Structure 1
């Protein structure tokens, strides 16, 4: 079990670090003068000649990128537009493009810019004014972050050829369930999807079966489809906190899947503990309306080999207390390090 858990741990830490905070990309230290091929507004360190640092310089434009640059840092500026031709020297070599914290709109991204980048691996476009995604043609794209924009649509097919895409983060936008219908069908290697802080009424449809992490906190979700998790056999972490889930919106056994390690249903309107699988390790149910501690939801059978593997269970902010636990709870929850009621 350990080889499976370690990759998840690294993914969880990576995703959690930027789930609710702005992504602040910290460039490497810049020592010595820039290389001779660098744009005058930027730095291209001799010890890292393939990187051009143009971050935090109050730029209002994207400078022309010279030949040889693979990593371009443009975050924390005042950029409003991207003019045609600025990437002509690096269309097939630029790997990272960091545009976080600017003022870019879709209308000011000219043709012949991002749509020409055929080798891009990472595109970070958070904290701008985009209303729809800007996707490069690169099949090498593995990480896409368009957080804190004004995305109201994500047309299907944009990611259909992104065979190496592993992580997509579009939290804090204006996306609805209809707006993302089929948006994530293409990538076969996607591990992490974050659609938190949007306007979804249900979990995103058509997500690839390779998914291990799905965050959908702070939406308007009131139902989970009966066979939804059955299509995600590798899913290990599911967060649906701060939504509108009620008991009738959770079909019997929908969360009873062997792959799940973490399940967050906090800050909803549940009145009972949903049925889970004994493999689950983290269950967050705080701030619901749970009235009864139903041990059968956690343990169908209890024996020397059959028991819940829950390590952390939160029930604070509900109508149950520690005295609500039946005597046999200790045998069912024998590995739990904490069960929190208040």
Structure 2
């Protein structure tokens, strides 16, 4: 009996120990789980203390939110009533995103206990309905960023959200229906630094509306209906965007105080005159493009031309206006200017002759004007790197005009009517008569432009490209496209052997290239598309060509030796729309089949085969399709080579035999 009891007792101990061993890991996992918040609140996601519940058709936050959650994203859901219940009774948020819901009611005093809330996004809701109740949502004690955009708010409604926001720094009221900014609109938000009122219907800004905002540095009033600013006096403002309004006038108040404005965008308005800017300013960026500027005067009276003081200006855009001229004196107080854009105007003449006014200018855009005269004197533009002159129909330039730009790297001359000088030396030859000496030169020189890397001369009606046209100019890119009938001298690219990387000769109606492109050791990208080429340019095994475009030519046969020479460097080849012969281009077929070269337009690469009425796609061509009397072409080549070798061997034997007979005769003598 005792033994049986001991046995049972022993069995119980064993069972208890086994059960404990099984339950212990489960017990530990439960303790760990209770000590840390769940990583997934289905269907939301938790990352540290941030909860993401976006786009889940929710009407409120999940009830099992972790304690101490800092950021809650409930954007793009179905929330209608915003209350403590909606937020699962949490008040310790730092960031609350309720963007794109259907909120039309906010529980009064909801945010008063949210003393840690810094960012509140209520954009794209129906807060105009809530505003009809005329109840303030405040206080927003700690909120620094508030987004109320796209809520259908109209004039006065924003007051119920801003009345008690002492810490508010960033405010967005974009895309509402506000027509007027009243004097007291921002009285409850005196800490504002940035205000965006983009895309409203603002017609009026009452005097003093922004005067109480001493910290305001950025103001966006773009895409509204403002017609004029006559007394701009926001001295501390740094960024002002007034683009896309109906402004006809911008004038600052007369003041000796320094304005801190750095960025001013007045583009897409209706101003006929240059804005009247503060005398003492720090402006760096000014955009008055797409207005109705007819002159650079600040008033309609040409007798009262005001001097423009923009000593710190770095970027000036006056493109897409009606300017006919810009006197050089306009730039006298723009010593820091780096970018000047006056494209798409009606300017007929442009000149810089004063050495000291634009010493830091790097980019000039004079494209799409009516330029007939362009003058740059020595040492006037020492830092100019890019010059855009396309679309001006220029026919005559001082032939040395570009040599006076020591830093020029990029030159765009598309759509003009220029002729290229044969060489720099010819222009220095003494004139035969005084009359000839006075005649304006009819060509422009591109030799010895020491830093020029990119030159665009497409659509210039160029007929000839003379020898040494670019001597001592280290061009990396040369575009000569769309010059039908261009006749290139065999030495026209002489001097570019070690610099030229990109060469564009498309749509030039070229039937044969006189220039030996194999001499251009650095050439990697060549565009010869849409010409009349019947044969490939010659290249040797030292070629570095990586991309070659031969589309839309008259190529029947691709020389095997040239293809072999190109194969080691060529990566991309365009060959569509050529009348290739199927059985004369097996070398090209092998190259494509081995995937040694990518042919992006392979679907349009076809060849003509006498056994087929329609062109055959090169991918479907096989060597077996090219046979003569049942014998593959490859065998014919082998037989021909063998026959040639036999003939050569016979001639060699005959030659050796004749030499032996001559030696024997001389010995007998």
Relative to structure 1, the CA distance from residue 220 to residue 127 in structure 2 (aligned partners, 3 Å threshold; closer, same or farther) is same
Instruction: Find the aligned partners of 1:206 and 1:190 in 2 and give their Cα distance.
Output: 13
In the alignment, which of 452, 459, 468 is matched to residue 317 of structure 1? Answer: 459
Instruction: Find the aligned partners of 2:288 and 2:351 in 1 and give their Cα distance.
Output: 22
1:284 and 2:417 aligned: no
User: Residue in 1 aligned with 2:472?
Assistant: 332
User: Residue in 2 aligned with 1:153?
Assistant: 273
User: Residue in 2 aligned with 1:265?
Assistant: 389
Instruction: Find the aligned partners of 1:335 and 1:237 in 2 and give their Cα distance.
Output: 19
Structure 1 residue 172: deviation in Å? Answer: 0.7
What secondary structure sits across from 1:193 in the alignment?
strand
The alignment covers a number of residue pairs equal to 295
User: Residue in 2 aligned with 1:36?
Assistant: 140
Cα deviation code 1:73-95 (max 9, x no counterpart): 011111111123422421x2211
Q: Which runs of 5+ in 2 are unaligned?
A: 1-94, 98-118, 122-138, 147-155, 425-443, 483-669
Instruction: Find the aligned partners of 1:33 and 1:300 in 2 and give their Cα distance.
Output: 62
After the TM superposition, which residues 207-286 of structure 1 pair with which residues of structure 2 at under 5 Å, given as runs? Answer: 207=331, 208-227=334-353, 231-246=357-372, 249-251=373-375, 253=377, 257-272=381-396, 275-276=401-402, 277-286=405-414
Structure 1 residue 125: deviation in Å? Answer: 0.3
User: Residue in 1 aligned with 2:284?
Assistant: 166
What secondary structure sits across from 1:206 in the alignment?
helix
What secondary structure sits across from 2:232 in the alignment?
helix
In the alignment, which of 233, 240, 265 is matched to residue 123 of structure 1? Answer: 240
After the TM superposition, which residues 80-119 of structure 1 pair with which residues of structure 2 at under 5 Å, given as runs? Answer: 80-90=203-213, 92-106=214-228, 115-119=232-236
Native 8 Å contact 1:129 1:150 kept in 2? yes
Structure 1 residue 225: deviation in Å? Answer: 3.0
Instruction: Find the aligned partners of 2:459 and 2:313 in 1 and give their Cα distance.
Output: 35
The TM-score with structure 1 as length reference comes to 0.75
Native 8 Å contact 2:455 2:475 kept in 1? no
Q: Which runs of 5+ in 1 are unaligned?
A: 1-28, 302-306
Relative to structure 1, the CA distance from residue 127 to residue 59 in structure 2 (aligned partners, 3 Å threshold; closer, same or farther) is same
Instruction: Find the aligned partners of 2:355 and 2:343 in 1 and give their Cα distance.
Output: 17
> Counting helix residues as a fraction of each chain, which structure ranks higher?
2
Instruction: Find the aligned partners of 2:379 and 2:292 in 1 and give their Cα distance.
Output: 27
Relative to structure 1, the CA distance from residue 80 to residue 288 in structure 2 (aligned partners, 3 Å threshold; closer, same or farther) is same
After alignment, is 62-71 or 207-216 more displaced? 62-71
> Counting strand residues as a fraction of each chain, which structure ranks higher?
2
By relative contact order (CA 8 Å, sep 6+), the higher-ranking structure is: 1
Relative to structure 1, the CA distance from residue 209 to residue 298 in structure 2 (aligned partners, 3 Å threshold; closer, same or farther) is farther
Relative to structure 1, the CA distance from residue 141 to residue 81 in structure 2 (aligned partners, 3 Å threshold; closer, same or farther) is same
Instruction: Find the aligned partners of 1:236 and 1:74 in 2 and give their Cα distance.
Output: 34
Structure 1 residue 231: deviation in Å? Answer: 2.0
Q: CA RMSD in A?
A: 3.1
In the alignment, which of 161, 168, 178 is matched to residue 59 of structure 1? Answer: 178
Relative to structure 1, the CA distance from residue 172 to residue 263 in structure 2 (aligned partners, 3 Å threshold; closer, same or farther) is same
What secondary structure sits across from 2:195 in the alignment?
strand
Native 8 Å contact 1:159 1:183 kept in 2? no
